[in-house]
Amino acid sequence: MSTLFSIESVTAAYETKVVLRDVTMAIEEKDFIGIIGPNGGGKTTLLKVILGLLKPVSGRVDYSPGDLKLNEIGYMPQVAQGDTLFPVTVEDVVLSGMMHSMGATGRMGRREKKHASEVMEELGLMALAHQALNELSGGQLQRVYLARAVSGSPRLLLLDEPATFVDTSFEADFYDKLKLLNNRMTIMMVSHDAGTISAWVKSFACVNGTIFYHPHSKITDEDLRLYGCPIQLVTHGDVPHVVLHKHN
Ligand SMILES: Nc1ncnc2c1ncn2[C@@H]1O[C@H](COP(=O)(O)OP(=O)(O)OP(=O)(O)O)[C@@H](O)[C@H]1O
Ligand SMILES: [Mg+2]
């Protein structure tokens, strides 16, 4: 494996309030990292630092190991219900994820539309392409935002609690899609459900003021205690959670 980018001694703050202190981590190509930790622990802040939206007080993110560019990062922000007053369609939103890759004219051509269709097809959104955003369920909306984050063909995909509104019956399907995407991009995904995602991620990062990297997907309450990560696994034992795959 080779390093895609690294976080070096990053301390991040809002005004005078320090939220992340001395965070250091190398992110490997094609890793699928579950980012867990308590509310207010700094998970979203970490993603903002990686995206270059929040400048660290000290330290830096080094994108040079894998020659990663900021426009090669796809980002799906934390979604709150009722975020969707725009009268835009699903297709519009997916296309908006490709803005940075368009030419100076900024026009959406046939090529962009074809690519948007492929992404919608892959994520099971074709039937909703011309539906308005405010007519979607929370889970459908999260799939649309995922499609937008993916449509720019990123090398790094940052997901902030992407499945909060995804019903348990669609959950396995949703994570299956992420697993497919992981074949071609590195993924960092914030989640509050360490038990469920352990069946899908390759590793964990516990964020609580600082970061602990856990290089495999089996994580125990004991690990969490060592990392100072006060969250509780939903289920216990060697295999923390059993995920039932969908039968055809
Ligand atoms: N724009 C901001 N201005 C000031 N303080 C902020 C801002 N954004 C976040 N914070 C504070 O920084 C801390 C970390 O917030 P952050 O959003 O990174 O946590 P989180 O781990 O993502 O939490 P959650 O699980 O609730 O999403 C919190 O105490 C929060 O109140
Ligand atoms: Mg957050």
Residues 225 and 232: their CA atoms lie apart, in Å, by 9
Average pLDDT for 180-209: 94
- Per-residue pLDDT for 44 more than 90? yes
- Per-residue pLDDT for 247 more than 60? no
What digits encode the pLDDT tens for the residues 150-161? 999 999 999 999
- Per-residue pLDDT for 163 more than 90? no
Strand-by-strand arrangement of the 17-28 sheet: 17-28, 3-14, 58-62
Residue 81 pLDDT: 59
How many whole angstroms from 42 Cα to the centroid of ligand 1? 6
Q: Options 3.40.50.720, 1.20.1510.10, 3.65.10.10, 3.40.50.300; which CATH number does 3-84+155-226 get?
A: 3.40.50.300
Residue 201 pLDDT: 96
- The string over 5-24, giving b where at least 16 C-beta atoms fall within 10 Å of a residue's C-beta and e elsewhere, is bbbbebbbeeeeeebbbebe
Residues 55 and 44: their CA atoms lie apart, in Å, by 14
How many whole angstroms from 175 Cα to the centroid of ligand 2? 19
Span of 206-210, 211-215, 241-245 with lowest mean pLDDT: 241-245
- Measured at the CA of 158, the angle between CA 37 and CA 230, to 5 degrees, comes to 5
Q: Token match 């459900």: residue?
A: 193
C-beta 45 within 6 A of ligand 1: yes
| Average pLDDT for the chain | 87
What digits encode the pLDDT tens for the residues 88-107? 888 888 888 887 666 555 56
C-beta 37 within 6 A of ligand 1: yes
Residue 235 pLDDT: 55
Residues 85 and 150: their CA atoms lie apart, in Å, by 22
Domains of the chain by residue range = 3-84+155-226
C-beta 191 within 6 A of ligand 1: no
This prediction's pTM: 0.89
Ligand nearest to the CA of 159: 2
How many whole angstroms from 12 Cα to the centroid of ligand 1? 11
Residue 243 pLDDT: 43
